Amino acid sequence: MAATARRSANRATAAARRSGRPAARLGLLDHSLAYHLRRAQLSSFRHFAERVRTPKATPTQFSCLVLIESEPGMSQVDLGGILGMDRATTMAVVDKLQQRRWVVRRPSTVDRRKHQLHLTPAGADALRAMKRSVARHEREFCAPLSVGECQQLLTLLRKLLAG
């Protein structure tokens, strides 16, 4: 842990030197998992936005399309639950996907209160194009890690999420 913290501090110092600004003193944040997870997420989202341009989509929109492709007819409630989004946020994201004609809502055949989500042909095409860009994003973003380190990080993150 101490070696990792030193490497992190050294990278921050090197980045500050390159930008011409003084390195920030992080204090307790230098040892905060939450702080580093959030910074990594923001960095990943910025990198995603730079790489996934045609068609343009957010990581959340991409995740929704992937899940709907893997389980056609899934409910909006289930989609939100898998992604950890509340109902209002889920509805806003699905509304946006529907406006782009990538997703259609159909009444559930089992429960009239629910809507089933399906990719449209345009949505399937958009997702196919995004998958290539996202694969490149993942390779580039994880480049500072070895393949083993990347797998280990993914395993540890899954473990944290599982509780």
The DSSP annotation for 93-118 comes to: HHHHHHHTTSEEEEE-SS-TTSEEEE
Which band of pLDDT confidence, cut at 50, 70 and 90, is reported for residue 113?
confident
The model carries a pTM of 0.80
- Taking 50 as the threshold, does the pLDDT of residue 129 lie above it? yes
pLDDT at 110: 84
Quick one: what percent of the chain has pLDDT higher than 70? 86
The torsion region of residue 58 among left (phi > 0), alpha (psi -120 to 50) and beta comes to beta
Q: Over pLDDT 90: what percentage of the chain?
A: 72
What distance in Å separates the CA atoms of residue 66 and residue 20, rounded to the nearest whole number? 41
What is the residue extent of each domain of the chain? 59-127
Domain 59-127 has CATH 1.25.40.10: no
CA 78/CA 116 separation, integer angstroms: 10
Element (DSSP H or E) covering residue 39: helix 33-51
Read off the pLDDT of residues 24-77 as tens digits, 9 standing for 90 and up.
Answer: 788 888 889 999 999 999 999 999 999 998 899 999 999 999 999 999 999 999
The mean pLDDT of the chain is: 88
Q: Are 91 and 112 in contact (CB under 8 A)?
A: no
Say whether pLDDT at 9 is over 80: no
Cβ atoms < 10 Å from Cβ of 76: 22
